[in-house]
Amino acid sequence: MRVQLTFEAMTDQDQVLTFLHQAKARVEGDGIDPTPGADAVRYTRDRLEEALPYVHAGAELPADARLKPVKQVVLGISRPITSNQAPFNKAVLQAIDGAAAAIEGLAHSVELHDQHANRVQAALATTELTVDDLVDDGRTVRSELAELTAAVAALRTEVAAARSDLADISAQQELIFRTAREGLAQQGLDTGQLTELSRELATGFEQLYEDLEDHFRGTRDEVQAKLQPYLADIAATDGPGPVIDVGCGRGEWLAMLSDAGIEAYGVDYNAVVVERCTAQGLDVREADALVHLRDMAPGSARAITSFHVAEHLSLDTLVGLVDAALVALRPGGVLVFETPNPTNVNVGAASFYLDPTHLKPLHPQFLQFLVEQRGFASAEVRYLNAEDVPVLTVDDLAPNGELARSQQLVDRINWALSGPLDYGVVATKAPAADV
């Protein structure tokens, strides 16, 4: 019985070694198929439960075990070696159990991450589908936006054309009403009712006026040098129809247009002017310019120009001239007025009255407002013909710099005393709509 116990103890130790060898073989894959995840942890736990009963292998023998003297001597010699076997076995099993627990936690974490990865992958697939839908929607929106933008642009063009047509109609209506009012006042109509411009410009001293213009207006070359910049405005309105110069005077502008190969003619009531221009080979027609413009086919003129005429007219006649020009011009045509600049005090208070037929100075802001208010799409004011005279400097006004903001004050004084002598208003009729 005692011998049997000894062999049982030895057998337990062998079984522990066997379990350890099997564990090593499983780790190294010697013929044992590894199991994944939770199955591997469960398998480890089962094997640990089988090994626990033998944890005492190599420890003390049962108290009542009796051995032969030789075995006692052998066991006594081996006791120091095997006495720590039980704690060792227990520590090994605990280490394996801890590793199994760690593996179990890791396996659980892996499963959670795998589940999370699956959810993320599903969400990613859904997101990709959503993005594809958004991209398609974006293309659709961009296409619709482009169509709307084009439609808005076309609508704006139509509105601009409608406004231009409305301005034409309003101008024509105003001309009719003006004539009707005058006719009703006289209980009848006659041609004289339509000659507002001739009536206001007529002096009975045509030759005197021509001599006056020759004396104060400047030489032919000087006048043409001043008019040179307007050629670019005419060139920008390239298209059919003539340029009509209202109050063409000595014909400097008409000669420039002829030299540039631009179709043009002048209209003037002054017989002396007409004779002088005709002698130069220029096309000038003796007529009341306002009546002439009213009799033209609407939209048949390329440009209408009038240099130093507006300041001779009453407001009523000036408005009538603007209205008649708007009707006569083709879409995109240009109206040019040039007149003395009254913001130069020397002009507005002195040189303006060298011509006794001048009625009143016209402020540049008013003339710009007038042509836009009567229906022109745009109007630009250009200050022209500055005198070459000495001007003030900051040192002249404040030599020691005592006066704050002195440069602005000096600029205003210089403008008032020696600013541009003339200004031009260049107005454009709205272009036709593309249909």
Most confident of 20-24, 129-133, 424-428: 424-428
Please tell me which residue, 217 or 141, carries the higher pLDDT value.
141
The whole-chain average pLDDT of the chain stands at: 77
Rounded CA-CA distance 314/178 in Å is: 14
348 closest CA partner among 357, 361, 359: 361
CB-based contact 298:399 (threshold 8 Å): no
Is the pLDDT at 307 greater than 60? The verdict is yes
Instruction: Output the pLDDT for position 374.
Output: 94
Phi then psi for 426, rounded to 5 degrees? -110, 110
Q: What is the DSSP secondary structure assignment for residue 185, as one 8-state letter?
A: H
Q: Is the dihedral of CA 223, 226, 232, 238 positive or negative?
A: negative
Question: Predicted confidence band at 435 (pLDDT cuts at 50, 70, 90)?
Answer: very low
Rounded CA-CA distance 196/103 in Å is: 111
Across the range 291-302, mean pLDDT stands at: 94
311 closest CA partner among 343, 339, 269: 339
Q: Quick count: other Cβ atoms within 10 Å of Cβ 55? A: 20
Are β-strands 301-307 and 243-246 bridged in parallel, bridged antiparallel, or unpaired?
parallel
∠ Cα 18 22 26 (to 5°): 175
CB-based contact 289:268 (threshold 8 Å): yes
Rounded CA-CA distance 16/96 in Å is: 13
Instruction: Provide the residue ranges of all domains of the chain, joining segments of one domain with +.
Output: 2-125, 190-428
β-strand partners of 48: none
- Sheet bearing 243-246, strands edge to edge: 284-286, 264-268, 243-246, 301-307, 329-340, 420-428, 378-386
Please tell me which residue, 65 or 378, carries the higher pLDDT value.
378
Instruction: Output the pLDDT for position 5.
Output: 40
Q: What is the DSSP secondary structure assignment for residue 399, as one 8-state letter?
A: T
Rounded CA-CA distance 432/435 in Å is: 9
Helix axes 2-28, 37-51, angle to 10 degrees: 160
pLDDT tens digits, 232-270: 999 999 789 999 999 998 899 999 999 999 999 999 988
In this structure, which topology does domain 190-428 adopt according to CATH?
Rossmann fold (3.40.50)
295 closest CA partner among 267, 253, 271, 333: 267
Rounded CA-CA distance 189/141 in Å is: 63
Q: Quick count: other Cβ atoms within 10 Å of Cβ 274? A: 21
Instruction: Output the pLDDT for position 270.
Output: 85
Most confident of 68-82, 153-167, 229-243: 229-243
Show the DSSP H helices in 187-219 as ranges: 196-201, 206-216
Are β-strands 378-386 and 420-428 bridged in parallel, bridged antiparallel, or unpaired?
antiparallel
Question: Predicted confidence band at 385 (pLDDT cuts at 50, 70, 90)?
Answer: confident
∠ Cα 277 425 419 (to 5°): 100
Is the pLDDT at 376 greater than 80? The verdict is yes
pLDDT tens digits, 1-44: 443 444 444 455 566 566 656 655 655 554 444 445 556 666 66
Q: Quick count: other Cβ atoms within 10 Å of Cβ 98? A: 10
CB-based contact 251:213 (threshold 8 Å): no
Helix, strand, coil % in the chain, rounded to nearest 5: 65, 10, 25
Taking the CA of residue 305 as centre, how many other CA atoms within 13 Å lie in the half-sphere pointing to its CB? 23
Range from 190-199, 241-250, 300-309, 332-341 carrying the lowest mean pLDDT: 190-199
341 closest CA partner among 387, 305, 379: 387
Instruction: Output the pLDDT for position 86.
Output: 58
Show the DSSP H helices in 236-340 as ranges: 252-259, 271-279, 289-295, 315-328
Instruction: Output the pLDDT for position 17.
Output: 61
- The span from the first CA to the last CA of the chain, in angstroms, equals 122
Is the pLDDT at 94 greater than 90? The verdict is no
Is the pLDDT at 414 greater than 70? The verdict is yes
By CB atoms closer than 10 A (0-12, 13-18, 19+), residue 359 is middle
Instruction: Output the pLDDT for position 391.
Output: 82
Question: Predicted confidence band at 50 (pLDDT cuts at 50, 70, 90)?
Answer: low
Rounded CA-CA distance 45/35 in Å is: 13
> What is the residue type of 31?
G
Rounded CA-CA distance 282/273 in Å is: 11
Instruction: Output the pLDDT for position 381.
Output: 97
253 closest CA partner among 266, 240, 272, 239: 266
- pTM of the complete model beyond 0.85: no
Instruction: Output the pLDDT for position 344.
Output: 94
384 closest CA partner among 329, 327, 347, 341: 341
User: Any idea which residue has 């403008």 for tokens?
Assistant: 415
Q: Which two tokens stand for residue 236?
A: 């920008």
